């Protein structure tokens, strides 16, 4: 099992490029199942979750070609409209194929999602949405089985709570349903808008993607398209926080600053100088001491839950008391114990973490519990004195492309060992 070894205390300096968004690429790959024509996707990151999804798409029956960050998929014959447990047990996004398979094939059998142990991601939102469109859905033996032998029918669907994957799954099902589908309380994340852009290029009729109400006029069939995935805003945010945490001067290229306004505002409140040298570039520097800032995770455009762990690491070096409140997932503070092993002063009270700083961080042996927690430990290791060894880094490989080589390129002393 691989580990990352980090010699901390070195400011990150220079420029680092961002990869395509994992969270946008996964639904885009699932959307390729909606047509028998060829779909070309550019800027697909080479991370573990993408490899799992490509394996699933192949299992279902699609032809897949990968050349660097360019993926070509032709799903002419979907012989196995299912997502078996053995293929998707490490990935949360397996449910994203449910909507496309029911929409195109009229049936699907999908294993309940695996992935990070950060709390519930209720599949019931996917299920209730598909039932509103006319599918018969049942759960047994760890699988969701859906059938719509007569096709799906457009309907009004109001989500009880905002769900990104639920919105994406229902959107993909609705594009081939008869009539109009209206999705209320829809997720507004950039990844949802990116999926809608791909589906529109394939011939779908969608209005309102990126807002809380999405309208879809169903079409008889979709065609091929070529699409470039948006930059990864979570990777961008991780690098920005890393530059600030190490008191460096770091420029992040190939990003979309508009996707990160909540983080940028909090960084500036903390005393970080954030500038935009060009439309796709952000630069961070820390001219003075870091100041304590409170954050509460929210759905987009609020502060992203996927950046909460990294920001908590930053607050260990800020002067004063910071309150970090997690509202999206109920079990997303597992990194706090590991940060404490490195010297952080963190007290947990339910869904709130109270961080007292600044406290000197020292290298230690720590364990990554999930994808974003592992990123926070990497950042803490970069700022700590001495050597940090991070175990179970397969978590970070699920969502960060070549993170050690990217960080090494801006001065970090980081290496991977078996």
Do the beta carbons of residue 116 and residue 370 sit within 8 Å? yes
8-state DSSP, 113: P
20 beta partners: 231
- Annotated active-site residue 105? The verdict is no
Strand order in the sheet with 38-42: 63-67, 70-74, 38-42, 225-228
To 5 degrees, how large is the angle CA 28–CA 30–CA 35?
A: 95
Task: Spot the catalytic one: 32, 105, 116, 255.
Answer: 116
C-alpha pair distances (Å), 169 with each of 94, 164, 178, 250, 304: 10, 9, 17, 37, 20
- Backbone dihedral angles phi then psi of residue 176, each to the nearest 5 degrees: -110, 5
Closest to 126 (Cα-Cα) out of 180, 87, 164:
164
- Kindly state the tokens that stand for 17: 């490029």
Kindly give the interhelix angle for 190-201 and 164-174, rounded to the nearest 10 degrees: 10
| CA 122 vs CA 127, 229, 328: distances in Å | 9, 26, 12
Alpha-carbon distance values, 121 to 70, 125, 164 (Å): 30, 9, 10
Task: Say if residue 97 is exposed, middle or buried (CB neighbours under 10 Å; 0-12, 13-18, 19+).
Answer: buried
Who's near 354: CB < 8 A, 6+ residues apart? 321, 322, 323, 324, 346, 347, 348
Per-residue CA distances from 234 to 37, 72, 255, 317, 368 (Å): 31, 25, 10, 21, 17
SS3 27: helix
Q: Which residues are catalytic?
A: 116
């Amino acid at each position: 099992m691989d580990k990352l070894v980090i010699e901390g205390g070195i400011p990150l300096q220079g420029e680092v490029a961002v990869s395509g968004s994992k969270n946008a690429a996964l639904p885009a790959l699932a959307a390729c199942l909606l047509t028998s024509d060829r779909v070309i996707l550019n800027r697909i990151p080479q991370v573990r979750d993408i490899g799992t999804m490509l394996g699933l798409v192949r299992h279902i029956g699609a032809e897949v070609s990968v050349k660097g960050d360019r993926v070509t998929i032709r799903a002419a014959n979907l012989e196995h409209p299912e997502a078996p447990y053995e293929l998707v047990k490490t990935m949360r996004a397996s449910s994203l194929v449910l909507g496309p398979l029911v929409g195109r094939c009229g049936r699907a059998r999908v294993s309940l999602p695996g992935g990070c142990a950060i709390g519930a991601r209720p599949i019931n939102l996917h299920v209730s949405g598909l039932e509103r469109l006319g599918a018969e859905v049942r759960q047994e033996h760890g699988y969701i089985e859906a059938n719509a032998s007569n096709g799906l029918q457009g309907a009004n669907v109001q989500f009880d709570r905002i769900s990104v994957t639920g919105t994406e799954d229902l959107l993909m099902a609705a594009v081939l349903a008869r009539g109009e589908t209206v999705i209320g309380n829809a997720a507004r994340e950039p990844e949802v808008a990116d999926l809608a852009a791909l589906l529109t290029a394939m011939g779908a009729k969608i209005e309102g993607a990126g807002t809380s109400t999405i309208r879809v006029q169903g079409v008889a069939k979709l065609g091929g398209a070529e699409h470039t995935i948006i930059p990864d805003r979570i990777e961008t945010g991780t690098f920005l926080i890393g530059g600030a945490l190490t008191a460096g001067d770091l420029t992040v290229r190939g990003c979309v600053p508009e996707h990160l306004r909540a983080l940028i505002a909090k960084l500036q409140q903390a005393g970080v100088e954030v500038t935009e040298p060009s439309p796709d570039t952000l630069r961070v520097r820390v001219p003075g001491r870091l100041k304590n800032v409170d954050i509460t995770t929210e759905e987009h455009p609020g502060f992203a839950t996927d950046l909460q762990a990294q920001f908590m690491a930053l607050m260990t070096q800020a002067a004063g008391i910071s309150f970090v409140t997690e509202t999206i997932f109920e079990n997303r503070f597992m990194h706090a114990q590991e940060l404490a092993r490195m010297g952080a002063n963190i007290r947990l009270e339910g869904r709130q973490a109270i961080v007292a700083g600044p406290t000197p961080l020292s290298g230690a042996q720590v364990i990554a519990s999930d994808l974003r927690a592992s990123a926070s430990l990497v950042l803490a290791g970069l700022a700590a004195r001495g050597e940090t060894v991070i175990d179970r880094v397969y978590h970070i490989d699920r969502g960060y492309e070549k993170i050690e080589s990217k960080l090494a390129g801006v001065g970090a002393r980081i290496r991977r060992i078996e």
